[in-house]
Amino acid sequence: MSGAVDPKRRLLLGGLLAAAASPGLAMGDDTSTDPRLPPVPSAPLHAAVRSTRSGDGTHLHYVTGGSGPVALVFVHGWSCNHRFFWPQLAAAATTHRFAALDLAGHGDSERRRSAISVAAFADDAEAVIRAEFPAGPLVLVVHSTGGRVACALAGRLGSRLIGIIGIDTFQNLGLPLPTDAVIAARLASQRADFIGDTRRHVQGFFPPGADPTLVEWVSRQMISTDAATAIAASEAFARFDARAAIAGWPRRVVALNSDLFPTDYRRIREVLPGFDLLLLAGRGHFPNLDDPATFNPLLLATVQRIIAERPSPPGPA
């Protein structure tokens, strides 16, 4: 699919932006001085720092807070961490409960005690959900390869999971897996120079004219991930059949994607009839950080759409 938005997508985007303009969805412009947080505007956030253990005993770090009947669970992508969602957590906290975790081997979580796999990353997210939100409806908010974790997790949560929101992810969900040769070349480049290879990829994640301070922050965060963990995760994500894992899932999946990489919308709809796409023109791989003041209302409006579409629970017999 090209970067152009077809008429149905334009109508949907326009409706969501109109909803996002409602009072109470605008983000404040306070900026944290903590160098670990993204150098972008964010409302103040007072999150509780908590921990739990994954299925293999790995110690997991996560933050939680907010209030509301629906919980948002944020899952980051390859070589990232929960701080990549900080402006979104602050925006969501007034209307929704949230939890954002560091997958094993990322951020402040312990290195995985067992083999690295997408299923094991799904175990991490499930452990946080069961510790923090043992009941009630959930929406997954996932970035990049966090979309593969969502595919592995969707079938485990039953009707509690009322929808999935992807941030620049699911682009290739309808396509075959990469060949062994492509995977081998990618891994060889990482093994030869993890830091240099990652920095080069980060440069390609942003459009021309991107804020160099943000680009450098993303680079520093991603190269700080343990190299062995990141390389093993690269292979696990590349070999994971996300299409088979989530094919036919009955609820709404919405991708808030930049137009930096093409999203194969029509093939994805063959796998997921409930899939929808909103293209954000001129953004990079981190549209939530490129322009949080625009992105956050759109995210919250998408959550509200998923809630509104949620099937009513059956009445008493």
Q: Which CATH class is domain 7-309?
A: alpha beta
Provide the Cα torsion 14, 15, 16, 17; round to 10°.
50
Measured CA to CA in angstroms, residue 126 lies from 4, 99, 129, 180, 183 at distances of 36, 11, 5, 30, 28
pLDDT of residue 34: 83
pLDDT at res. 9: 44
Mean pLDDT value of segment 120-143: 98
pLDDT of residue 59: 98
Domain parsing of the chain, residue ranges: 7-309
Residue 11 tokens read as 């109508």
84 DSSP assignment: G
Q: What gap in Å lies between CA 239 and CA 179, rounded to an integer? A: 9
pLDDT in tens, 177-224: 999 999 999 999 999 999 999 999 999 999 999 999 999 999 999 999
- What are 13-48's pLDDT values in tens digits? 434 443 333 333 333 334 446 889 999 999 999 899
- The C-alpha atoms of residue 253 and residue 316 are separated, in whole angstroms, by 29
Phi, then psi, of 9 in degrees rounded to 5: -65, -40
Most confident of 7-16, 31-40, 61-70: 61-70
pLDDT at residue 196, rounded to an integer = 98
